[in-house]
Homo-oligomer: A and B are copies of this chain.
């Protein structure tokens, strides 16, 4: 993963480019920790060799896992970063395109890049915080926190 700061004003914007074989969620988490981000959003396109997606099962309040074991285009990867329990926490959703052009997607749990993933990430001069939501049992952004 290589990155470049492409704008530094009140907001900062980076281009972050992943290498083949890198795992996206853990590596992007590390980048957010290294840069100490607490109010960021990002979008990306590229391709994965494999991914694990999540669908939030409302009755059980758990993510069901969906495995994608083939080369797919990353048609859209959108996400945000806010602080939760003292560290940056990522929230990432993806849309993936298969060989026949069909689109699939979910909450991104894990993904392996091949050959590239081009992320544009912007950090705002603010602090956003996630708080545990008792109904969904998920840490949700609370703009008042």
Contacts and interface: CB of A to CB of B under 8 A. Distances in A.
Interface of A: 2-7, 9-11, 13, 15-17, 20, 39, 41, 43-45, 47, 49, 53, 55-58, 64, 66, 68, 71, 73-76, 78-80, 91-95, 97-107, 114-116, 118, 120, 124-126, 128, 133, 135-136, 138, 140-144
A143 B55 contact: no
Contacts of A41: 43, 120
B75 A94 contact: yes
15 contacts: A2-B142, A7-B10, A13-B124, A15-B39, A15-B80, A43-B43, A49-B58, A55-B98, A74-B93, A75-B78, A80-B120, A95-B103, A97-B104, A103-B104, A115-B133
A119 to B, nearest CB: 10
Nearest to A63: B73
Interface-central residue, A41, A64, A94, A138, by most chain B CB under 10 Å: A41
Interface-central residue, A55, A73, A97, A98, by most chain B CB under 10 Å: A97
